[in-house]
């Protein structure tokens, strides 16, 4: 089955050439993109969709979410808005509610959040464990996550549970808990932050998970300067997320991690790959932290991703458009840079920016022949309207792996 999408006013490919095509068309065959070009030269297809002079983007790639949870933290939010400072301790509230919720309801809640994200143009997403914090509930969260998300990250090292010894709990995270979640996850993360896991504990978690064959991510430098960025670079983590407080040495380390990389399509996916800086602007606004220095990172040559950080305590939104708008209006990214960070950047942070018909792992986050047909049609003639008309719901249609989802 093939589908021709024609009469596209602006096609922002976010491919290796950063092409922006006018009066364009795209052909989908199965789950892949099979042709891109001018509408006037479009081939025949089994069905045709008239884009009506709208803009087409890659689907959003949300590389940082926490969707497996139950409960409500509006009281914490209200207190923070009234002037209380954010700390990691609120995670314990969600942990209690999550443990008390059965599998069916926990899955139903997570699927609802995924559907909400897809309805706004997100076509590929990662989610984490981290609200179980014991062997049974972390394994359960990982299993449920593997049925609702594209990528699953083990975050047993989210917070030390109340009453537990930090080093003893770290032993649990690196041993029995890791073994229990391993069948369901491909990534591991650690909250390397004051009030969570210190440098030594974070190092142990990263080493154990690396030895177990998992890709690595780090929550780092959210509440102040700390070791998170340096650890992420040292361990070759795919991304370090939050990055609100960075020293010059941190920025240099991130930039240096990409010194041997030649770009997408230049060779094996891991060749010369560095650590992506993932900015989470919705979380920054909710916690009243300084916005991550996305402009400075890009200027230094650091690849940047934007992600929602959808979670019940500090960023209860799955709106990637909101993140893009904030990045343009307040972080000084151009529209093209912000859209790239929310599509290709997220794919880069998940090691999914490359892949084609040959290896069967089709790339996401960009529009190119052979890539997965993840497409987001805006009810606007250009992507600029995402920032020009802030807060307006602009998603007109969504294709996820070639299937129209909206």
* 16-31 residue pLDDT tens: 999 999 999 999 999 9
Q: Residue 143 pLDDT > 70, yes or no?
A: yes
> Which pLDDT score, from 0 to 100, does residue 104 have?
98
* Residue 155 sits in the same domain as residue 37: no
pLDDT, mean of residues 99-105: 97
Element spanning 350, H or E: none
Give per-residue pLDDT as tens, 115-125.
Answer: 999 999 999 99
- Domain contains 399: yes
- Domain contains 147: yes
81 vs 176 pLDDT, higher one: 176
Q: Residue 103 pLDDT > 90, yes or no?
A: yes
> What CATH number is given to the structural domain containing 80?
3.20.20.140
> Which pLDDT score, from 0 to 100, does residue 358 have?
56
> Which pLDDT score, from 0 to 100, does residue 361 have?
79
> Which pLDDT score, from 0 to 100, does residue 272 have?
80
Q: Residue 89 pLDDT > 70, yes or no?
A: no
* Residue 45 sits in the same domain as residue 179: no
- Domain contains 356: no
pLDDT, mean of residues 352-359: 76
Lowest mean pLDDT among 72-76, 151-155, 294-298, 380-384: 72-76
359 vs 250 pLDDT, higher one: 250
Total domains, the chain? 2
> What CATH number is given to the structural domain containing 50?
2.30.40.10
- Domain contains 7: yes
For residues 68 and 354, the answer to whether their CB atoms sit within 8 Å is no
* Residue 276 sits in the same domain as residue 336: yes
> Which pLDDT score, from 0 to 100, does residue 395 have?
98
* Residue 66 sits in the same domain as residue 112: yes
Q: What pTM does this model have?
A: 0.96
Q: Residue 264 pLDDT > 70, yes or no?
A: no
Q: Residue 360 pLDDT > 70, yes or no?
A: no
The residues, ordered by sequence, that sit 6+ positions from 278 with a Cβ below 8 Å of its Cβ are 63, 64, 239, 240, 241, 242, 243, 304, 305, 306, 307, 345, 346, 349
- Domain contains 360: no
Average pLDDT score, the chain:
95
pLDDT category of residue 267 using cuts at 50, 70 and 90: very low
For residues 3 and 49, the answer to whether their CB atoms sit within 8 Å is yes
Residue 353 tokens, joined: 């920016």
* Residue 400 sits in the same domain as residue 299: no
Tokens 């361990």 belong to residue: 235
Q: How many C-beta atoms lie closer than 10 Å to residue 192's C-beta?
A: 29
- Domain contains 197: yes
287 vs 264 pLDDT, higher one: 287
| DSSP reduced 3-state for 384 | coil
* Residue 388 sits in the same domain as residue 294: no
Q: Residue 14 pLDDT > 80, yes or no?
A: yes
pLDDT, mean of residues 223-228: 96
* Residue 236 sits in the same domain as residue 381: no
- Domain contains 358: no
| DSSP reduced 3-state for 158 | coil
* Residue 195 sits in the same domain as residue 250: yes
pLDDT category of residue 196 using cuts at 50, 70 and 90: very high
Q: Residue 266 pLDDT > 60, yes or no?
A: no
Residue 197 tokens, joined: 């896991």
> Which pLDDT score, from 0 to 100, does residue 231 have?
98
C-alpha to C-alpha distance for 184 and 154, rounded to whole angstroms: 9
Tokens 């969600």 belong to residue: 94
Give per-residue pLDDT as tens, 29-72.
Answer: 999 999 999 999 999 999 999 999 999 999 999 999 999 999 99
Q: Residue 385 pLDDT > 80, yes or no?
A: yes
**Which residue segment(s) compose the domain that 250 sits in?**
60-349
pLDDT, mean of residues 69-84: 89
* Residue 270 sits in the same domain as residue 307: yes
The residues, ordered by sequence, that sit 6+ positions from 160 with a Cβ below 8 Å of its Cβ are 166, 169, 196, 197
* Residue 290 sits in the same domain as residue 345: yes
pLDDT category of residue 268 using cuts at 50, 70 and 90: very low
Give per-residue pLDDT as tens, 120-142.
Answer: 999 999 999 999 999 999 999 99
220-246 exposure pattern, b = at least 16 Cβ within 10 A, e = fewer: bbbbeebbbbbbbbebebbbbbbbbbb
pLDDT category of residue 93 using cuts at 50, 70 and 90: confident
* Residue % of the chain over a pLDDT of 70: 96
* Residue 177 sits in the same domain as residue 295: yes
Q: Cα 404 vs. chain centroid, distance in angstroms? A: 21
- Domain contains 355: no
Q: What is the DSSP letter of 318?
A: -
* Residue % of the chain over a pLDDT of 90: 89
* Residue 66 sits in the same domain as residue 126: yes
């Amino acid at each position: 089955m093939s589908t021709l999408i024609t009469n596209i006013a602006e096609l922002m490919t976010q491919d290796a050439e950063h092409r922006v095509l006018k009066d364009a068309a795209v052909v989908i065959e199965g789950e892949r993109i099979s042709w891109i070009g001018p509408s006037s030269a479009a081939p025949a297809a089994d069905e045709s969709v008239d884009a009506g002079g709208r803009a087409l983007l890659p689907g959003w790639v949300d590389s940082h979410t926490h969707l497996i949870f139950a409960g409500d933290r509006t009281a914490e939010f209200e207190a923070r808005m009234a002037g209380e400072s954010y700390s990691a301790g609120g995670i314990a509230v969600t942990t209690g509610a999550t443990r008390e919720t059965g599998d069916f309801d926990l899955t139903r809640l997570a699927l609802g959040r995924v559907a909400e994200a897809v309805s706004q143009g997100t076509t590929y997403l990662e989610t984490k464990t981290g609200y179980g914090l014991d062997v049974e509930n972390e394994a359960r969260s990982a299993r449920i996550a593997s049925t609702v998300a594209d990528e699953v990250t083990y975050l047993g090292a989210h917070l030390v549970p109340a009453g537990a010894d930090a080093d003893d709990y770290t032993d649990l995270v690196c041993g029995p808990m890791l073994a229990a979640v391993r069948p369901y996850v491909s990534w591991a993360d650690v909250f390397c932050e004051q009030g969570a896991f210190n440098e030594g504990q974070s190092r142990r978690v990263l080493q154990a998970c690396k030895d177990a064959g998992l890709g690595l991510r780090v929550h780092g430098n959210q509440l102040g300067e700390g070791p998170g960025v340096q650890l992420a670079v040292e361990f070759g983590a795919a991304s370090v997320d939050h990055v609100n407080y960075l020293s010059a040495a941190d920025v240099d380390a991130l930039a240096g991690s990409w010194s041997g990389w030649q770009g997408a399509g230049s060779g094996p996916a891991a060749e010369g790959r560095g650590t992506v800086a993932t900015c989470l602007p919705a979380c920054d606004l909710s916690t009243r932290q300084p916005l991550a220095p996305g402009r400075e990172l890009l200027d230094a040559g650091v690849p940047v991703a934007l992600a929602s950080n959808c979670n019940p305590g500090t960023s209860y939104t799955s709106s990637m458009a909101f993140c893009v708008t904030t990045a343009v209006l307040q972080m000084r990214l151009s529209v093209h840079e912000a859209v790239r960070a929310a599509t290709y950047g997220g794919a880069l942070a998940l090691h999914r920016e490359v892949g084609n018909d040959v290896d069967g792992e089709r790339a996401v986050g960009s529009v190119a022949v052979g890539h997965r047909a993840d497409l987001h049609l805006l009810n606007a003639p250009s992507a600029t309207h995402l920032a020009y008309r802030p807060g307006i719901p602009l998603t007109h249609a969504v294709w996820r792996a070639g299937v129209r989802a909206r």
